[in-house]
Structure 1
Amino acid sequence: MVLTAFLVGSGARSRADVLVKGVWRTVGAAVGTVVAGALAGSFGPRSDAVVVLIFAVLAVATWLRELSYAYWAGCVTAVLSLLYDWFGQSPGGLLHTRLAGIAVGAVIGIAASWLVLPIRTSTAVRARTAAALAALTELLEADWRDGRAVHMARARFSHRAGQLGVTTAPLRILAAPPLPRALSVRRRRSVDALRAKAALRRCVEPAGDLATAATSATSATPASATSASANSATSAPDVLADDPGLRGRRGEVAAHTLAVRRAIGRRPAPPGAPAAAPPAKTRPTGPQATAAWAALAAVDAQLDVLTEVFGRPPIPPASHPAAAPARP
């Protein structure tokens, strides 16, 4: 019971994570108990075949654990049954006691996560999404003359997008139809969270293309470098970083990212914030610049999806003019 309460609550990312882990551990232990009861007595005490089978089941459990925690709980129960059989003990009463302890421990862990210090799944999803978008902003605003800074920002964004995927993993169950009408609101929220995760995952590849284009430009050597006027020639990274159309497009996508972050935090734009710049109409030329433009367009399209999920930033309250003094 104590072990289950610890395992269910440790490393929990949200209430949904604890709930799914507790339920899967209990269900897996129940199925494992049934299977273990059917296999009880099949092998004699001190059987070498039992030892081989125990390690084989543990290997399968390690492989299936990535799919669902229930597989791990069920396989461990089967391993314990085989271990009891190897010692010549009857596993029936021991497994039933273990199943009861797991059920009680899961209830305790779930109750603690929901009542003592609850972390709402929607709050965790918003926080992870905002963190990923902050890293995306760093990538968009990075100096393309510094390839190391560009790649570090891209790596941070990819990592944080993956962390959002881990946070939303338990929501796949709540998003699967059909569900009772009482859970329809939770299902809609789960679907929105999964849409946000999918949108950010679709931004990972364009972000990599953006970093690759910047790095390729940084490592490129202009053809005039070998001429006498090489010192006055403009290097490729300077051309890419200073391209007016590409720079304006980066600013547009960065502003769009900031708007989504404000919507996630439910914060309006600060007073006196500059208005959105007009869309960049000048498309750049060259392979690196064209690839960067396409990557920015792909990211911008996914930001539109995030805007549909989280809405738009709230409108700041209008400043009311001071009331005119009353006439005497």
Structure 2
Amino acid sequence: MRTFKAILVFFSIFFIIGTLLPLLPMDIWWVQIFVFPRIQISVIIILLIALWLIFFRFRKGLNVVMVILLGASFFYQSFRIYPYTIFSRTQTDYAQGQDTLTNISAITSNVYMKNHEYEKLLLLIEQKNPDLVLLLETDEWWAEKMDTLKYKYPHIVSKPLDNTYGMILYSQLQLEDAEVKYMMEDSIPSIHAYVKLRSGQNVKLYCLHPKPPVPPESESSTKRDAELLLAGQLVKKSQEPAILMGDLNDVAWSYTTRLFLKSSQMLDPRIGRGFYNTFSAEMPMMRWSLDHVFHTETFQLNALEVLPHIGSDHFPVYFSLSYQPTETEEQEPLEPTNAKEEDTVEKKIKKGLEKQ
């Protein structure tokens, strides 16, 4: 029993520390890594509390301390993931009515460069028939296999790369001022373009895929955070209808994502609806939300879903939005809590740019 208790103490302390570490203002990867599995950590903490209560007397000092600290840790983890449960209020309303002229739909998919099951993806695209298709981790092989899309998606922005950060955007809708930009690193592209809806309305589109804070890709989250926050500043400054999508290598419940939502004034359609976990497709017990879509409050939601497995380590995501600027008064973006948060955004962007 002593060995069992020692093991229980070890794991309890480990997950308590894992809960506390992301509170530190540190971008280093071994701190940031604990932000991703909040759901899994919450489940493990419940199991640890149950073990303490079942096998040990609650009146003893160490037992009481462990249960209280684990309980506090569970409360904090739950607080962070709560907005992405069905118990929270939705941030994006469902669209009333279906005006196809103002709708825009898309599939965004990290194809996993080494994955060669391209037929599955082509079949999904044919079934969902989205207006836009954003493919990430595309190299020349993938560009060649997806070439048949050009007949239905004549507007294309293509930047295939063999470093797992290539991206290709296919569009049925007209694209204007489309550019491949390098916001933080010369090897990490992003796509910026205007998409003209069938109604004639222009929508600014941002497609991102920053590096994850995991060695050997990156020792910190500095550039990832800076790229997302910089894109958010562009959205806020332009005051235009906008959509941002892609594999952000960050989770919906992270401090950076929340800071982005506050600074950009964009909305997350997952809030109040679910986690929509997309990674890892290969490990059901270790999944979280890496693939995202955000939009300005001028849009309402028609549909949002995680699509079936295509052989990649990510599931594709499908969404459909409706441009209804006069119907969105009840949709409320997150507001910056204080001036310190606005200052944090500036500092994170500056730090990312300085590391170029």
Interval of TM-score (by shorter of Structure 1 and Structure 2): under 0.3
**Which has a greater percent of strand?**
2
**Which has a greater percent of helix?**
1
Instruction: Name the TM-score, length of structure 1 as normaliser.
Output: 0.27
Instruction: Name the TM-score, length of structure 2 as normaliser.
Output: 0.26
Higher CA-based Rg: 1
Higher RCO, Cα 8 Å, sep 6+? 2
